[in-house]
Amino acid sequence: MTEINPTQRRALRAAAHHLNPVVSISQKGLTPTVLAEIDRCIKAHELIKVRLYGIERAEREPLFNEICTALDCANVQHIGNLLILWRAKPATDGIAEKSALAGRRKEKPGTKKQAAARNELRRRRPG
């Protein structure tokens, strides 16, 4: 289980405030499939919320600790039926990341129609 200091915990709680739960645990409890889904979500987002349905109050804290131990993540907060989990993303080598993005051209944000209209204007522009 990853340990975090109170300052980090406060910052993570603030960052998680606007998040919606991405994983739900209900009737069957913490199955390997649910644990794998939590792991995938933490790898993608670092900070996630997990909602518990139908789990008794006395069982929530051991469940929270079991998840954190199994996935080596930090328990940020436990309020009622919500658990907030955090794990730092593993460091990736910048070479692989740069090469994957090297061929992509950055487009201006907008819809496909807007992009088509911009391209049409560029094509018609004299000179």
In a domain, 59, yes or no: yes
State the pLDDT confidence band at 6, using cuts at 50, 70 and 90. Answer: very high
Q: Which range of residues forms the domain containing residue 52?
A: 6-86
In a domain, 109, yes or no: no
- Mean pLDDT in residue range 104-127: 68
**Residues constituting the chain:** 127
In a domain, 25, yes or no: yes
* pLDDT score recorded for residue 64: 94
Q: Is a pLDDT exceeding 90 seen at residue 99?
A: no
In a domain, 97, yes or no: no
In a domain, 36, yes or no: yes
Which CATH number is 36's domain given? 3.30.110.60
Per-residue model confidence as pLDDT tens digits over 78-95:
999 999 999 998 776 555
Q: How far apart are CA 73 and CA 96, in angstroms?
A: 26
Using alpha carbons, list the distances in angstroms from residue 101 to 110, 117, 121: 20, 25, 27
Q: Is a pLDDT exceeding 80 seen at residue 25?
A: yes
In a domain, 71, yes or no: yes
**Number of folded domains in the chain?**
1
What's this model's pTM, rounded to 2 decimal places? 0.69
